[in-house]
A and B are shown apart, each in its own frame.
Chain A
Amino acid sequence: EERREMPPTGQEGRECPLRGVRGGCGSGRQGYDLLVIGGGSGGLACAKEAAQLGKKVAVVDYVEPSPRGTRWGLGGTCVNVGCIPKKLMHQAALLGDMIRDAPHYGWEVPPLVPHDWKKMAEAVQNHVKSLNWGHRVQLQDRKVKYFNIKASFVNEHMVCGVTKDGKETLLSAEHIVIATGGRPRYPTHIEGALEYGITSDDIFWLKESPGKTPPLADVALECAGFLTGLGLDATVMVRSIPLRGFDQQMSSLVTEYMASHGTRFLRGCTPSRVGRLPDGQLQVIWEDLASGKKDVGTFDTVLWAIGRVPETRSLHLENAGVNTHPNSQKILVDAGEATSVPHIYAIGDVAEGRPELTPPAVMAGKLLARRLCGQSSDLMDYDNVPTTVFTPLEYGCVGLSEEEAVARHGEEHVEVYHAYYKPLEFTVAERDASQCYIKMVCLREPPQLVLGLHFLGPNAGEVTQGFALGIKCGASYAQVMRTLGIHPTCAEEVAKLRITKRSG
Chain B
Amino acid sequence: MAQPPPPSSPPRAQTSPGPAKVGAVPNRRLGSVRGVPMSSPPGRRARLSSPGTGRSSSETREELRRRLLGLIEGNRVMIFSKSYCPHSTRVKELFSSLGVECHILELDQVDDGASVQEVLSEITNQRTVPNIFVNKVHVGGCEQTFQAHQSGVLEKLLQGDSAYDYDLIVIGGGSGGLACAQEAAVLGKKVMVLDFVVPSPQGTSWGLGGTCVNVGCIPKKLMHQAALLGQALIDSRKFGWEYNQQVKHNWETMTEAIQNHIGSLNWGYRLSLREKAVAYVNSYGEFVEHHKIKATNRKGQETCYTAAKFVIATGERPRYLGIQGDKEYCITSDDLFSLPYCPGKTLVVGASYVALECAGFLAGLGLDVTVMVRSILLRGFDQEMAEKVGSYMEQHGVKFLRKFVPIQQLEKGSPGKLRVVAESTEGPGAVEGVYNTVLLAIGRDSCTRKIGLEKIGVKINEKSGKIPVNDVEQTNVPYVYAIGDILEGKLELTPVAIQAGKLLARRLFGGRLEKCDYVNVPTTVFTPLEYGCCGLSEEKAIEVHTKENLEVYHTLFWPLEWTVAGRDNNTCYAKIICNKFDNERVVGFHILGPNAGEVTQGFAAAMKCGLTKQLLDDTIGIHPTCGEVWKEKTFLKLTSVDVV
CB distance from A118 to the nearest CB of B (A): 8
**Segment of A172-180, A199-207, A421-429 engaged in the interface with chain B:** A421-429
Scoring B residues 249 to 261 as 1 if CB is less than 8 Å from chain A, else 0, what string do you get?
A: 1111111011001
Q: In the complex, are the beta carbons of B620 and A360 less than 8 A apart?
A: yes
Per the 8 Å Cβ criterion, residues 601-632 of B in contact with A are: 601-606, 608-611, 615-616, 618-628, 631
A359 vs B629: C-alpha distance when bound (angstroms): 12
Q: In the complex, are the beta carbons of A469 and B603 less than 8 A apart?
A: yes
CB distance from B332 to the nearest CB of A (A): 20
Q: In the complex, are the beta carbons of B232 and A87 less than 8 A apart?
A: no
What residues on A are CB-neighbors of B628 within 8 Å?
359, 465
User: If A106-B254, A357-B623 touch, does A381 touch B618 (CB 8 Å cutoff)?
Assistant: yes
Interface: B117 (CB within 8 A): no
Residues of A within 8 A of B (CB-CB), count: 81
Interface: A313 (CB within 8 A): no
Q: In the complex, are the beta carbons of A99 and B232 less than 8 A apart?
A: yes
User: If A113-B243, A483-B604 touch, does A99 touch B623 (CB 8 Å cutoff)?
Assistant: no
Q: In the complex, are the beta carbons of B627 and A104 less than 8 A apart?
A: no
Q: In the complex, are the beta carbons of A467 and B606 less than 8 A apart?
A: yes
Interface: A96 (CB within 8 A): yes
CB distance from A480 to the nearest CB of B (A): 5
What residues on A are CB-neighbors of B33 within 8 Å?
none
CB distance from B556 to the nearest CB of A (A): 16
Per the 8 Å Cβ criterion, residues 201-220 of B in contact with A are: 212, 217-218
A482 vs B495: C-alpha distance when bound (angstroms): 11
Q: In the complex, are the beta carbons of A483 and B605 less than 8 A apart?
A: yes
Question: Out of B560, B605, B618, which one reaches A466, CB within 8 Å?
Answer: B605
**Segment of B286-294, B419-427, B519-527 engaged in the interface with chain A:** B519-527
A92 vs B226: C-alpha distance when bound (angstroms): 18
**Segment of A13-21, A263-271, A275-283, A385-393 engaged in the interface with chain B:** A385-393
Interface: A374 (CB within 8 A): no
Question: Out of A108, A427, A467, A480, which one reaches B250, CB within 8 Å?
Answer: A108
A349 vs B247: C-alpha distance when bound (angstroms): 46
Residue of A nearest to B518 (CB): A484
CB distance from A206 to the nearest CB of B (A): 13
Q: In the complex, are the beta carbons of A109 and B233 less than 8 A apart?
A: yes
Residue of B nearest to A103 (CB): B253
User: If A115-B242, A465-B621 touch, does A470 touch B564 (CB 8 Å cutoff)?
Assistant: no
Q: In the complex, are the beta carbons of B495 and A492 less than 8 A apart?
A: yes
Q: In the complex, are the beta carbons of A127 and B563 less than 8 A apart?
A: yes
A421 vs B610: C-alpha distance when bound (angstroms): 28
**Segment of A154-162, A184-192, A456-464 engaged in the interface with chain B:** A456-464
What residues on A are CB-neighbors of B261 within 8 Å?
427-428
What residues on B are CB-neighbors of A491 within 8 Å?
597-602
- The residue in A96, A120, A463 that gathers the most chain B C-beta atoms within 10 A of its C-beta is A463
User: If A107-B249, A475-B609 touch, does A486 touch B236 (CB 8 Å cutoff)?
Assistant: no
A206 vs B521: C-alpha distance when bound (angstroms): 47
CB distance from B618 to the nearest CB of A (A): 6
What residues on B are CB-neighbors of A490 within 8 Å?
598
Interface: A101 (CB within 8 A): yes
A98 vs B611: C-alpha distance when bound (angstroms): 36
What residues on A are CB-neighbors of B615 within 8 Å?
469, 472-473
Residue of B nearest to A461 (CB): B625
Q: In the complex, are the beta carbons of A489 and B601 less than 8 A apart?
A: yes
Q: In the complex, are the beta carbons of A428 and B608 less than 8 A apart?
A: no
Q: In the complex, are the beta carbons of A482 and B517 less than 8 A apart?
A: yes
Interface: A196 (CB within 8 A): no
What residues on B are CB-neighbors of A108 within 8 Å?
247-250
User: If A462-B626, A465-B625, A486-B522 touch, does A428 touch B604 (CB 8 Å cutoff)?
Assistant: no
Q: In the complex, are the beta carbons of A468 and B602 less than 8 A apart?
A: yes
Per the 8 Å Cβ criterion, residues 494-526 of B in contact with A are: 494-496, 499, 517, 521-524
CB distance from B278 to the nearest CB of A (A): 19
Residue of A nearest to B261 (CB): A427
Q: In the complex, are the beta carbons of B494 and A466 less than 8 A apart?
A: no
A496 vs B609: C-alpha distance when bound (angstroms): 17
A427 vs B260: C-alpha distance when bound (angstroms): 10
Interface: B245 (CB within 8 A): yes
Interface: B456 (CB within 8 A): no
Residue of B nearest to A52 (CB): B633
A107 vs B628: C-alpha distance when bound (angstroms): 33
Scoring A residues 431 to 467 as 1 if CB is less than 8 Å from chain B, else 0, what string do you get?
A: 0000000000000000000000000000101111111
What residues on A are CB-neighbors of B394 within 8 Å?
none
Interface: A301 (CB within 8 A): no
Interface: B221 (CB within 8 A): yes
Interface: B561 (CB within 8 A): yes
Per the 8 Å Cβ criterion, residues 340-369 of B in contact with A are: 365
Interface: B397 (CB within 8 A): no
Scoring B residues 520 to 547 as 1 if CB is less than 8 Å from chain A, else 0, what string do you get?
A: 0111100000001000000000000000
Residue of A nearest to B621 (CB): A359
A461 vs B532: C-alpha distance when bound (angstroms): 16
Q: In the complex, are the beta carbons of B495 and A485 less than 8 A apart?
A: yes
Interface: B409 (CB within 8 A): no
What residues on B are CB-neighbors of A463 within 8 Å?
598-599, 601-602, 627
Residue of A nearest to B236 (CB): A95
CB distance from A76 to the nearest CB of B (A): 12
Question: Out of B225, B598, B625, which one reaches A105, CB within 8 Å?
Answer: B225
Interface: A232 (CB within 8 A): no
Interface: B396 (CB within 8 A): no
Question: Out of B239, B258, B499, which one reaches A91, CB within 8 Å?
Answer: B239
Q: In the complex, are the beta carbons of B247 and A473 less than 8 A apart?
A: no
Interface: B7 (CB within 8 A): no
Question: Out of A101, A107, A462, A479, which one reaches B608, CB within 8 Å?
Answer: A479
Question: Out of A91, A359, A492, which one reaches B622, CB within 8 Å?
Answer: A359
Interface: B222 (CB within 8 A): yes
User: If A91-B561, A472-B615 touch, does A120 touch B598 (CB 8 Å cutoff)?
Assistant: no
Interface: A114 (CB within 8 A): yes
Question: Out of B233, B608, B620, which one reaches A102, CB within 8 Å?
Answer: B233
Residue of B nearest to A95 (CB): B236
A234 vs B425: C-alpha distance when bound (angstroms): 63
A446 vs B229: C-alpha distance when bound (angstroms): 44
Q: In the complex, are the beta carbons of B605 and A359 less than 8 A apart?
A: no
A104 vs B217: C-alpha distance when bound (angstroms): 19
- The residue in B239, B618, B622 that gathers the most chain A C-beta atoms within 10 A of its C-beta is B622
What residues on A are CB-neighbors of B563 within 8 Å?
88, 127
User: If A88-B564, A108-B247, A488-B218 touch, does A466 touch B600 (CB 8 Å cutoff)?
Assistant: yes
CB distance from A463 to the nearest CB of B (A): 5
User: If A123-B239, A486-B524 touch, does A87 touch B624 (CB 8 Å cutoff)?
Assistant: yes
User: If A107-B249, A491-B602 touch, does A88 touch B623 (CB 8 Å cutoff)?
Assistant: no
What residues on B are CB-neighbors of A467 within 8 Å?
601-602, 605-606
Q: In the complex, are the beta carbons of A110 and B243 less than 8 A apart?
A: yes
Q: In the complex, are the beta carbons of B605 and A479 less than 8 A apart?
A: yes
Scoring A residues 378 to 400 as 1 if CB is less than 8 Å from chain B, else 0, what string do you get?
A: 00010001111000000010000
Q: In the complex, are the beta carbons of B622 and A98 less than 8 A apart?
A: no
Q: In the complex, are the beta carbons of B622 and A461 less than 8 A apart?
A: yes
- The residue in B233, B255, B609, B615 that gathers the most chain A C-beta atoms within 10 A of its C-beta is B609
Q: In the complex, are the beta carbons of B603 and A489 less than 8 A apart?
A: no
Q: In the complex, are the beta carbons of B608 and A470 less than 8 A apart?
A: yes
Q: In the complex, are the beta carbons of B620 and A386 less than 8 A apart?
A: yes
A-B contact pairs, 30 of them (CB 8 A): A78-B623, A84-B560, A87-B560, A88-B564, A92-B239, A95-B235, A106-B250, A106-B252, A106-B254, A110-B245, A113-B241, A123-B564, A358-B623, A359-B621, A359-B623, A359-B631, A387-B622, A424-B225, A428-B258, A462-B625, A464-B622, A465-B625, A468-B622, A469-B611, A472-B615, A483-B605, A486-B524, A487-B494, A489-B598, A491-B600
The 4 closest A-B pairs by CB, nearest first: A466-B602, A465-B627, A120-B240, A106-B254
Q: Known pairs A83-B624, A115-B241. 18 more at Cβ < 8 A?
A: A83-B623, A84-B560, A87-B561, A102-B229, A104-B253, A108-B250, A357-B623, A428-B261, A463-B602, A469-B606, A472-B615, A473-B611, A475-B605, A475-B606, A484-B499, A486-B532, A489-B597, A492-B601
